[in-house]
Structure 1
């Protein structure tokens, strides 16, 4: 697994180590100016490594790689790594040996950028660790939805205005030309007759009857 391997988060080829003077009871914080910054006790390489989410600061010989001291860090900021009150390039770290004995030493960097990288690397690591812990403690409240279609399953999509256009009724044709239908009852409307034709027939019938009237017997 990935956690079984040691990962290197930061390497700085030059780190300055100082022996700390006794702290006075009135001194609330560390001051790098009290260390004799021009005379470091040791100079070597600094590496920050992580294995199984356990972070360590390792001080090693820059040529042979021999371990000079190591400082396990459980949280940051914290007692394992502390800033000083008078500079951003120096820190106090708590080192330990195989017998779990601990001591505090001062470390620093000649370049301010190296100190910035050291600080940010520690912050980013523990920020990521806290995020992972929150994710692990948060229950998965999202249901396991299977949104795929089963074999042979179909679905219908209803488009807008489609049903409306299909349900429109055909307008009725007004055969009456706007006239009302005839009233109910036995009264029937007589169609309009062609009076000119009937009058012609009546006239011819009258003329034929007039010729036969001479044959009538008069009393």
Structure 2
């Protein structure tokens, strides 16, 4: 389904169309060769520049009825619109109808209209070039080889999370009352009381005294 919509880029209320002689050399067209430009025009009416997607066309319409006199598909890469060599207000348009084409002269009375005409076509050309460049960049990104992170046949993933799932290898503490050979460690006797200490001292003094008797 075609989702592009038409948009109006420029409207000029008055333009003139001329019948032009065939170009006999590659030097270009001259408006002075079209006769009296003030009186020899073939048609007079409104000009509209329309765009739809990446297509642009120049429509020459009747000011009263809106009937289309001629349509010029604009292509920046072709000779669909050419400026004449001897004036900034006149151009040559390549019009098409049912597969046939012809060249006509077209001009404006005001230089400001000719300026607006040129700017509208230039702006459309810049927009199309920007869109094409963006599309090329998008295709280059899409064509970039993508890395394959999938597991191949026989491949596995090992995940280690801290010490979860590990068994403690710490040996249980031994009974402080057992020795290294499995026997019992003898208990240390409690310290003697003050009375016992005094009694022992007296006994030692008596023994010493007996030694000197």
Same fold judged by TM-score > 0.5?
Answer: yes
Residue segments in structure 2 that go unaligned for 5+ positions in a row: 143-213
Alpha-carbon offset, residue 73 of structure 1:
1.1
Q: CA RMSD in A?
A: 1.8
Which whole-Å deviations, capped at 9, do the CAs of 1:38-87 have from their partners, x for residues lacking one? Answer: 221100000000112210000000111000000111216x3100010000
1 CA distance for matches of 2:96 and 2:135?
31
Q: Across the two proteins, how many residue pairs are aligned to each other?
A: 138
Equivalent residues in 2 for 1:125-164, closer than 5 Å = 125-138=124-137, 139-140=140-141
Q: Report the equivalent of 1:84.
A: 84
CA deviation digits over 1:126-175, x for unaligned, max 9?
1111111111111449xxxxxxxxxxxxxxxxxxxxxxxxxxxxxxxxxx
User: Cα distance, 1:2 vs. partner?
Assistant: 9.5
> Could you list the per-position Cα deviations for residues 169-195 of structure 1 after superposition, in whole angstroms to 9, with x for gaps in the alignment?
xxxxxxxxxxxxxxxxxxxxxxxxxxx
* TM-score, structure 2 normalization: 0.61
Preserved contact between residue 6 and residue 50 of structure 1 (Cα < 8 Å): yes
Alignment of 1:94-105 (within 5 A): 94-97=94-97, 99-105=98-104
Structure-2 residue corresponding to 1:46: 47
Does 1:58 find its partner at 2:56? no
Q: Which runs of 4+ in 1 moved over 3 A?
A: none
Distance 1:134 1:95, change over 3 A: same
Corresponding position of 1:110: 109
Q: Is 2:23 aligned against 1:23?
A: yes
Equivalents in 2 of 1:52, 1:22: separation in Å? 33
TM-score where L is the length of structure 1: 0.59
Question: Which residue is equivalent to 2:31?
Answer: 32
Residues of 2 paired with 1:56 and 1:22: CA distance? 23
DSSP-derived class of the 1:130 partner: helix
Q: What is the aligned partner in structure 2 of residue 123 from structure 1?
A: 122
Partner Cα separation in structure 2 for residue 3 and residue 119 of structure 1: 28
| 1:88 CA displacement | 0.5
Equivalent position of 1:73 in the other structure: 74
User: Mind listing any 5+ residue stretches in structure 1 that lack a counterpart?
Assistant: 142-219
Distance 1:24 1:6 in 2: 37
